[in-house]
Amino acid sequence: MAPAEPADRSARLAALLGRVALGDQRAFEALYGQTASHLYGVALRIVREPSLAEEILQEAYVSVWHHAGRYDAARSQPVTWLTSIVRNRCLDHLRRRDLDTVTLSAEEDDEPAFDVADEGLTPAELLLRGAEARSVRECVEGLEAGPRQAIALAFFQGLSHAELAAHMKEPLGTIKSWVRRGLDRLKRCLDSAGYQR
Amino acid sequence: MDLSHPDRRERLDALAAQYALGTLRGQARDRFTKAARSDPVVAAAAHAWETSLASLAEAVPAVAPPPRVWTGIAARLGLRGAGQAGLSWWQRLGFWRGFALASFAAALVLSLVQLMSPAVLPAESLVVVLAGPDARPALIATATRGDAMLTVKAVGDVRPAAGRAFELWALPEGGAPKSLGVLPPVGVAKVALPAPSGEALARVPALAVSLEPPGGSPTGQPTGPVLYTGKVERFY
């Protein structure tokens, strides 16, 4: 299948969501066919456990079937909307799992779980790869190494501040400040570049 | 905490950023999610950040999920199995169940109309009783086969939420919904059709009404919730 222009793809997905809101099963299947691989990739990277990622994907599409009418095409791109649903569910699951396990401490060293679903690209590389719009890429490149790494790990692997501290072997305060400063800087840069979507 | 207050803007923006990035966790995340549901200012801040970070998510390599994921979704939703996947959504059970009740209502309305005055219902006409999920008639659309005009009447005090509008849709066989126009908030609407109704609605088994911004859907497809649907009953 040839990759469609992003604008075409967005329009097509928005039309499918419109039909899903009307209870159109075929549109729902088509929507699944066109978005499931991307969303599964996102979920897998964050929860790093195929069975959990599958469960999250199922929950997310069940929710989409029931709430497609809430999608507002004037406010967001369909993929952004769908990705938010999946990411939020991933974070909910991580939190539930965190409650069941011992709290991570900064002393813990080996973190074998982190290299699952890596496919050769580190989160920091993904961050740059994702920043395809030139202004976004420049803004990401403008971040210092620490904040960039922290933001990438948080975004792509769903790490909390405490987990970032453990993984990057830095004090929690440093991590929080990196994330906050990094986001501030990213935002200012994106704003000044006139980046909207 | 009133996050929408001007003094809180900076704090709100920081929280929205952490929310979108995913580092806002636990009860703080719950509180923020709750605030975003009730406060459009909070929702807009979260949305702005989600949008800013969205292009980053596109870099994640796609991974095809196993087929059991779809099977599980279809089972949870009671969708038809793979063998019937080609069936049109008109054939979905739930959809027709709603229609069966609405059709009964349509027959009732029709007989009442006929009792009142033969002139109200010319021989060749079509009637659509649009009902919500509870099958209570909300709007009634009628047209004479040869006229390019649909008359839509609200049943009782049916009106859109403040600042929103009803938009009427034709649901053609196997095609995307087609807007027939935005309905005025109250009373009787005359909706112009592109051709005489017998022709314009020939391959349209049903109509629907969705809730949209005042000028109607900005996308040409329903964007708000679909409130009412009804089968097109042809009396010719």
> Does B185 score more than 60 pLDDT?
yes
Structure confidence at residue A171 (pLDDT):
95
What token pair was written down for B124? Answer: 């060749």
Minimal-distance CA residue of chain B relative to A45: B60
> What does pLDDT average to over chain B?
77
pLDDT digits (tens, 9 = 90+) for B73-119: 988 888 764 334 443 333 343 444 444 455 555 556 555 555 544 44
pLDDT value at residue A148: 87
- Residues of B within 8 A of A181 (CB-CB) are none
- Predicted confidence band of residue A82 (pLDDT cuts 50, 70, 90): very high
Average pLDDT over every residue of B159-187: 84
Is the pLDDT assigned to residue B138 strictly greater than 50? yes
pLDDT band at A165 (very low <50, low <70, confident <90, very high): very high
Q: For position A197, what pLDDT does the model report? A: 40
Q: What is the pLDDT of residue A125?
A: 65
Q: Name the β-bridge partners of B207.
A: B170, B230
As a CATH number, domain A103-197 is: 1.10.10.10
**Percentage of the residues of chain B whose pLDDT score is greater than 90:** 7
Residue A170 pLDDT class (50, 70, 90 cuts): very high
Q: Do A22 and B226 touch (CB under 8 A)?
A: yes
Task: Flag whether pLDDT at B62 surpasses 70.
Answer: yes
- Judged by a CB distance cut-off of 8 A, whether residue B225 touches chain A is yes
Q: From 2.60.40, 1.10.10, 3.30.2010, 1.10.287, which CATH number describes the B89-235 domain?
A: 2.60.40
Work out the average pLDDT over B168-184.
85
Q: Which residue of A has its CA nearest to B61?
A: A41
A1-101: CATH, from 3.40.50.720, 2.30.30.20, 1.10.1740.10, 1.10.443.10: 1.10.1740.10
Q: How far apart are CA A148 and CA B81, in angstroms?
A: 46
Q: For residue A85, what is the DSSP state?
A: H
List the domain boundaries for chain B: 6-57, 89-235
> In whole angstroms, what is the distance from residue A58 CA to residue A76 CA?
22
Inter-residue contact B67 to A52 (CB < 8 Å) = no
Q: Quote the pLDDT of residue B221.
A: 80
For residues A21 and B114, the model is more confident at A21
Residue-wise DSSP of B157-199: S--PPTT-EEEEEEE-TTS--EEEEEEPSSSEEEEE-SS-HHH
> How many residues comprise chain B?
236
- Torsions phi, psi for B154 (to 5 deg): -80, 140
Nearest CA in chain A to B79: A25
Q: Please, which residues 115-144 of chain A have a Cβ atom closer than 8 Å to chain B?
A: 117, 119, 121, 126-127, 129-133, 136
Interface residue A188 vs chain B (CB under 8 A) = no
Mean pLDDT of B52-56: 73
Enumerate the residues of chain B whose CB falls inside 8 A of the CB of residue A27.
89
pLDDT confidence bin for A109, thresholds 50/70/90: very low
Domains of chain A by residue range: 1-101, 103-197
Q: What is the pLDDT of residue A105?
A: 36
Please determine, for residue A64, whether its predicted confidence score (pLDDT) is greater than 90: yes
